Structure 1
Amino acid sequence: MESTKALIRDEVTSLPIYNAGLHPETLKRRLGLAHIVKLDSNENPFGPSPRAIEAVRDVAAGLFRYPDRDETNLRAAIAAHLGVPGARLAFGNGSEDLIAIIYRMVVRPGETVVTTVPSFGLHQICAQVLGAKAVTLPFTADWQFPVEAIVAALARRPRILILSSPSNPVGVAMSERDVDRIIAATPPETLLIFDEAYVEYVDPAVRVDVLARLKTYSGPWVVLRTFSKAYGLAALRIGYGVAHSVDFIENLYKVRSPFSVNAAALAAAQAAFADEAHLAKVTGTIRENRQVLAAALAAQDYALAPSQANFLFVDSGRDGAAVAAALRGKGVLVKPWLEPGYTSFIRVTIGTRAEGEEFLAALGEVAPTLAAAS
């Protein structure tokens, strides 16, 4: 053990373990349960487009070949849809793969990465593993982006500002005014990253076209998206990014693994991206279910952040880990938030209407016991 500790860099041994969701089969075996309601990993309960499933079947016979390193067909489809040159697109093994690659490209030991708190853990972890400092800015009391604090932090010229909108785990999305103020305040030596993993779930009436607002910005930027959430391809691990320049993408591909995206993921993503009707149906249903579940929790006096994603960030009023453990005993998985200052919160994925009802029933069963224990 001592030799291992001496071998590994301190930046690595001091990292927290990523708080991943539990696999349902693991929990079934552990607790002897036949049925699990999995609401801890922000997955799409309705699954991918049938076209994506068929596309995976079609590529199976060619699995002895390496995938298309240039992602030719998918690149062309997304570029045409977004109205950007294909050479400014990058693909990775999930959008978090691209985050890690970009950090390795640009972040040096001792430099600063700025993000919000609570936030997606890898926004901080990928900085810390490189010996950089992660500066975290809390959301306002009414769960708005801390724009004033962000602007002040940008004045100190950090290497990266990374913001998820909708935010994970809070769910709140930036307004046009928020985006414009942040872009205007970003110095040219700061890489501005917008992580839009959940953007497809935003109500169309309030969705901000960040790419359009970046068109006149001359500094470096990246917008990240994924096929894991709304497109239902979490198991295949594929995400993409749009960057400010071709040169940035060329250098990213020098750092990226040569065949980072597998052939099944490429085929499924292309088919899923083309099936706009399936995406619209899924996201519309999730928005409806989100509204129903949020109203039910509010009616029971639970405080929660205003979400535009496929999850709710709920203040349980007690230790969130204890609530999650009690719900787990009922076969319902939610994610307790472990960041200091937010440990009473649980993040609840928006599932089917039936799954939401099962969660509410289980919460009603365990709440009195937890209240008595506290």
Structure 2
Amino acid sequence: MSGNNEVQARKAIQNISPYTPGKPIWELQSELGISRIIKLASNENPLGPSPKALEAIMCSLPDIHRYPDSSTTSLRQAIAEKLNMKPQQMIISNGGDELITLVSEAFLEPGDEIIVPAPSFSEYEFGALLMGANVVNVPLGESYAFDIDAIVNAVTDRTKLLCICSPNNPTGTYLSQSVLHHLLDVLPKHILVLFDAAYSQYATAADYTNGLEFVRAGYPIVVLQTFSKIYGLAGLRVGYGAAPESIIQQILKVKEPFNVNALAQAAASAALHDTEHLHLSLQVNSEGKKQLYRSFRELQLPFVESMSNFVLVNLGTHAKFIYEQLLSKGIIVRFGGIWNLPGHIRVSVGKDVENSAFIHELNEILHFLHLRM
């Protein structure tokens, strides 16, 4: 019997590359043989999960032999009440990533086009390519601001979806309320806007919007939120989308049953009301960003002031070497090459001691490079 086969994968996936996550702690521990690893690569909450979420998980453990609520009724109701919306305007997903794929599956046909400002989160392209759609990248403007004129000019009769991440990953820049309103008004009404507000809780600009006001107003927009960031539940994979009810009904047609596990549902419901954890997380993030900003200024390293929980910093031609040296010291950051920013790294904001360790090692590496030059 021959071991060869002629099984052919779909042509649509030939251009898809698997997502490359930040290096996990366990992997670097194994490679270096050290226990102390500082991970500042995946924009996780350095304080850990909401204590109320942990308590809810413990209370839910005896029932994990039962299937979870496929309709996520309690969680949708809790989110809707908090946001002054209807449960029918909500869909709960297995992290924000699943929602992006569901939107693609529900609305994209082969040959359709999606517009994605670049650089940004790579999963928008994944969903489009999976469905045989074409990705139109529109470069961000000066200082990584959104170029609204370029976005509008990129629209064709085949444009079906526009993906906006605000605050944007990896730049930390954002779209103001007035500009988003203008954009929604001038776009053809057959274009759906996927507004990824995964980092919205960190945004402090007075003119920032999380997009929910436009859902309430009935615009063709899906607002993505996640419990992976400020709520500290990345390991449970739970996110949600808010959209007009007619759009939600279409997305529900492609959602798998039982897509969000019971522990994730219970934890998210509890974390949603843990205001103490939320406020402390915001405080740590604000202080941590100031700490990083001061150090980058002292080192004369250009960086982007961020509305999120990470900072994009320009290290120049030695960025890859510096990234690798930091890894060798047990510090994981994100190399910018994956966004076609080979001179940059993205640093997640950690606790004071974690930020200090990163700054110390960065200083040492830069001093070494200076001596060599």
How does the TM-score come out when normalised to structure 1? Answer: 0.94
Q: State the distance in 2 between where 1:373 and 1:329 align.
A: 19
Offset at 1:30? 0.8
Offset at 1:275? 1.0
Matches within 5 A, 1:174-323: 174-203=175-204, 205-218=206-219, 220-245=220-245, 247-323=246-322
Q: State the distance in 2 between where 1:86 and 1:267 align.
A: 17
- In the other structure, the counterpart of 1:367 is 366
Structure 2 residue 47 is matched with structure 1 residue 33: no
Q: Deviations over 1:52-73 (max 9, x none)?
A: 0010011110010000111121
100-109 or 169-178, larger mean C-alpha shift: 169-178
Q: Which amino acid aligns with 1:122?
A: E
CA contact (8 A) 2:69 2:262 kept: yes
272-281 or 224-233, larger mean C-alpha shift: 272-281
Gaps of 5+ in 2: none
Matches within 5 A, 1:1-374: 7-154=8-155, 156=157, 158-203=159-204, 205-218=206-219, 220-245=220-245, 247-339=246-338, 341-370=340-369
Q: State the distance in 2 between where 1:180 and 1:249 align.
A: 21
CA contact (8 A) 2:120 2:339 kept: no
How does the TM-score come out when normalised to structure 2? Answer: 0.94
Offset at 1:165? 0.4
CA contact (8 A) 1:319 1:343 kept: no
SS of 1:320 mapped into structure 2:
helix
Q: State the distance in 1 between where 2:64 and 2:372 align.
A: 55
Q: Which amino acid aligns with 1:270?
A: S
4-13 or 77-86, larger mean C-alpha shift: 4-13
Q: Which amino acid aligns with 1:131?
A: G
54-63 or 127-136, larger mean C-alpha shift: 127-136
Q: Deviations over 1:71-114 (max 9, x none)?
A: 12111111111111101100110011010011011111111110
Offset at 1:253? 2.0
Gaps of 5+ in 1: none
Q: Deviations over 1:130-160 (max 9, x none)?
A: 2211111111122211111112123656110
CA contact (8 A) 1:143 1:306 kept: no
Offset at 1:194? 0.5
Query: How has the CA–CA distance of structure 1 residues 80 and 7 changed in structure 2, closer, same or farther, with 3 Å as cutoff?
Result: same
Aligned length: 371
SS of 1:114 mapped into structure 2:
strand
Q: State the distance in 2 between where 1:209 and 1:100 align.
A: 21
CA contact (8 A) 2:334 2:345 kept: yes
SS of 2:168 mapped into structure 1:
coil
Offset at 1:197? 0.5
Offset at 1:295? 2.5
Q: Deviations over 1:15-64 (max 9, x none)?
A: 23322111111111111122011001110010122110010011110010
Query: How has the CA–CA distance of structure 1 residues 320 and 134 changed in structure 2, closer, same or farther, with 3 Å as cutoff?
Result: farther
Q: Deviations over 1:245-290 (max 9, x none)?
A: 2x32223222111000000000000000011221122112202211
SS of 1:231 mapped into structure 2:
coil
Q: State the distance in 2 between where 1:304 and 1:249 align.
A: 38
Q: State the distance in 1 between where 2:341 and 2:296 align.
A: 18
Q: State the distance in 2 between where 1:296 and 1:5 align.
A: 56
Q: Deviations over 1:305-333 (max 9, x none)?
A: 22100000111112533322111001000
CA contact (8 A) 2:40 2:347 kept: yes
Q: State the distance in 1 between where 2:46 and 2:248 align.
A: 33
Q: Which amino acid aligns with 2:234?
A: A
Query: How has the CA–CA distance of structure 1 residues 368 and 13 changed in structure 2, closer, same or farther, with 3 Å as cutoff?
Result: farther
CA contact (8 A) 2:140 2:147 kept: yes
SS of 1:304 mapped into structure 2:
coil
Offset at 1:226? 0.1
Percent identity over the alignment is 33
Query: How has the CA–CA distance of structure 1 residues 370 and 253 changed in structure 2, closer, same or farther, with 3 Å as cutoff?
Result: farther
181-190 or 206-215, larger mean C-alpha shift: 206-215
Q: Which amino acid aligns with 1:239?
A: G
SS of 1:318 mapped into structure 2:
helix
157-166 or 174-183, larger mean C-alpha shift: 174-183
Query: How has the CA–CA distance of structure 1 residues 156 and 359 changed in structure 2, closer, same or farther, with 3 Å as cutoff?
Result: farther
Query: How has the CA–CA distance of structure 1 residues 35 and 212 changed in structure 2, closer, same or farther, with 3 Å as cutoff?
Result: same
Query: How has the CA–CA distance of structure 1 residues 80 and 204 changed in structure 2, closer, same or farther, with 3 Å as cutoff?
Result: farther
Query: How has the CA–CA distance of structure 1 residues 170 and 340 changed in structure 2, closer, same or farther, with 3 Å as cutoff?
Result: closer
SS of 2:350 mapped into structure 1:
coil
